[in-house]
Amino acid sequence: MRELDDKNGNDREVKSKICSFCDAPLHVDLTRTASTDMGLIPLTKAALLAAVKEHVSTGRRLFTDRMDNMDTAYIVSECLVDGDAVYVKVKFFQLNGEERMLVISSHPPRRW
């Protein structure tokens, strides 16, 4: 896992892209796991995306990691949503030639 750095142009571009998707919720999909996770707190998609945008745009920590299938994921380990800390993992993907963002996880941070 590597922390994204604002001094790196590619990392700044990723952060900008995440924020742009947060402003376009119709282009953001949720996995079944993320939807179930969000029900634990409970959270809405709009609240989650607003919190992710706030987190990323204010320069808080954002990490990147390779998933088991070799896709690149972006991780906010403790995103504050309505006062609750949430672990959020997203990735970009193509659907019918259109780039979209997928929320893979959105659950309280695990402490193990």
Of the pLDDT bands very low, low, confident and very high (cuts 50, 70, 90), residue 48 is very high
pTM flag (> 0.75): yes
- Tokens found for residue 34: 């993320």
Region of 97 on the Ramachandran plot (φ > 0 left; ψ -120 to 50 alpha; else beta): left
Q: What is the pLDDT of residues 64-98, one digit of tens each?
A: 999 999 999 999 988 998 888 999 999 999 999 99
In a domain, 112, yes or no: no
In a domain, 74, yes or no: yes
- Domain extent at residue 69: 2-107
19 inside domain: yes
Whether residue 89 is contained in a domain is answered as yes
The answer to whether residue 94 sits within a structural domain is yes
Provide the strand spans (E) within 1-112.
2-3, 28-30, 63-66, 72-81, 84-95, 98-107
Residue 27: give its domain's CATH number. Answer: 3.30.2310.40
Q: State how many domains the chain has.
A: 1
